């Protein structure tokens, strides 16, 4: 029986010092590391990997190439780490990988990571979910129509910001709802913006923000200024 195994490791929102101790231990064990430059800097991975570890860059590696690594893990008893952004089980597109690993009879471990939502809340300096106002965590393309008040954190907000704005309005959030827009959280280019819901689509479009954009909308009793300071971007070098 093969002793090969695969660890799906959440590497957080991108900052090297937000890797968890468990993530670091996984990197230290790995024979092969599947890594993407969109997740975390290569130097941050190399700082914890063994000198003889193999790093497979994805892309250009395809899903078929990655599954070939899983085949090698089974045949050669390798420890494979596949890095995932944030937390693997929050929008980590895990279905295909989990199926491939389990179909091969490989042992599998999932190492949680710091989510972009948690990093955004820390950057904003405020609690974004309470027992009175729960947090609805959704992909921006999958907002459902509901009327109960809750905070909403929407990933991938730059893909269609006008549609996101309309979805939040349909959900019953007032036009004056305070919104925070967090971009590249914990990375050198981190940007935080504040606006009201009726300004959200235009704010994101005007800033030409990238894919790593998260919107947090908090209903009732919160001003846009208290979330992000002003409607202008606040950045961290």
Q: What is the pLDDT of residue 100?
A: 97
Beta-carbon contacts of 109 under 8 Å, excluding residues fewer than 6 positions away, are 5, 6, 7, 8, 26
Q: Is residue 230 over pLDDT 50?
A: no
Q: Burial code of 6-28, b = ≥16 C-beta within 10 A, e = fewer?
A: bbbbbbbbbbbebbbeebbebbe
pLDDT band for position 233 (50/70/90)?
Answer: low
Q: What is the pLDDT of residue 19?
A: 97
Q: What is the pLDDT of residue 99?
A: 96
d(CA 54, CA 5): 15
Q: What is the pLDDT of residue 234?
A: 53
Pinpoint the residues of the chain covered by CATH 3.40.1010.10.
Answer: 5-111
Q: Is residue 25 over pLDDT 60?
A: yes
Q: What is the pLDDT of residue 231?
A: 47
Q: What is the pLDDT of residues 28-74, one digit of tens each?
A: 999 999 999 999 999 999 999 999 999 999 999 999 999 999 999 99
Q: What is the pLDDT of residues 135-144, one digit of tens each?
A: 878 877 766 6
Q: Give the CATH H-level superfamily of domain 116-235.
A: Tetrapyrrole methylase, C-terminal domain (3.30.950.10)
Q: Is residue 78 over pLDDT 80?
A: yes
Q: Please calculate the CA angle 45-138-146 and round it to the nearest 5 degrees.
A: 170
Structure tokens at 44: 């941050």
Check if the beta carbon of residue 174 is closer than 8 Å to that of residue 202: no
Q: Which of 190, 185, 177, 171 is nearest to 218 (CA)?
A: 177
Structure tokens at 150: 């809750």
Q: What is the pLDDT of residue 143?
A: 67
d(CA 158, CA 207): 10
Q: What is the pLDDT of residues 153-167, one digit of tens each?
A: 888 888 899 999 999
Q: Is residue 3 over pLDDT 50?
A: yes
Q: What is the pLDDT of residues 99-136, one digit of tens each?
A: 999 999 999 999 999 999 999 999 999 888 877 777 87
Tokens 């921006």, residue? Answer: 140
Q: Which of 4, 209, 237 is nearest to 102 (CA)?
A: 4
Q: Which CATH architecture has domain 5-111?
A: 3-Layer(aba) Sandwich (3.40)
160: DSSP letter: S
Check if the beta carbon of residue 181 is closer than 8 Å to that of residue 157: yes
More confident residue, 161 or 207: 161
d(CA 81, CA 2): 16
Check if the beta carbon of residue 119 is closer than 8 Å to that of residue 40: no
What average pLDDT does this structure show over 15-26?
97
Indicate the pTM of the whole model: 0.78
């Amino acid at each position: 029986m093969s002793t090969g195994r695969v660890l799906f490791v959440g590497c957080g929102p991108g900052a090297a010092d937000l890797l968890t101790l468990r993530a670091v231990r996984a990197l230290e064990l790995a024979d092969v590391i599947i890594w993407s430059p969109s997740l975390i800097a290569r130097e941050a991975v190399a700082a914890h990997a063994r000198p003889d570890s193999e790093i497979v860059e994805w892309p250009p590696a395809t899903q078929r190439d990655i599954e070939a690594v899983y085949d090698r893990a089974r045949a050669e008893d390798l420890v494979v780490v596949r890095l995932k952004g944030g937390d693997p089980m929050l929008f980590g597109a895990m279905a295909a990988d989990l199926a491939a690993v389990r179909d091969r009879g490989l042992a599998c471990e999932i190492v949680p990571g710091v989510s972009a939502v948690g990093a955004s809340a820390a950057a904003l300096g405020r609690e974004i979910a309470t027992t009175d106002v729960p947090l609805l965590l959704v992909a921006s393309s999958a907002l459902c129509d509901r009327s109960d008040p809750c905070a909403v954190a929407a990933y991938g907000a730059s893909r269609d910001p006008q549609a996101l704005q309309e979805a939040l309005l349909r959900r019953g959030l007032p036009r004056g709802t305070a919104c925070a827009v967090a971009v590249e959280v914990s990375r050198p280019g981190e940007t935080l913006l504040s606006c009201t819901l009726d300004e959200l689509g235009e704010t994101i479009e005007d800033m030409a923000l990238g894919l790593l954009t998260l919107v947090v909308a908090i209903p009732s009793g919160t001003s846009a200024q208290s979330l992000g300071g002003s409607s202008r971007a606040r950045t961290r070098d």
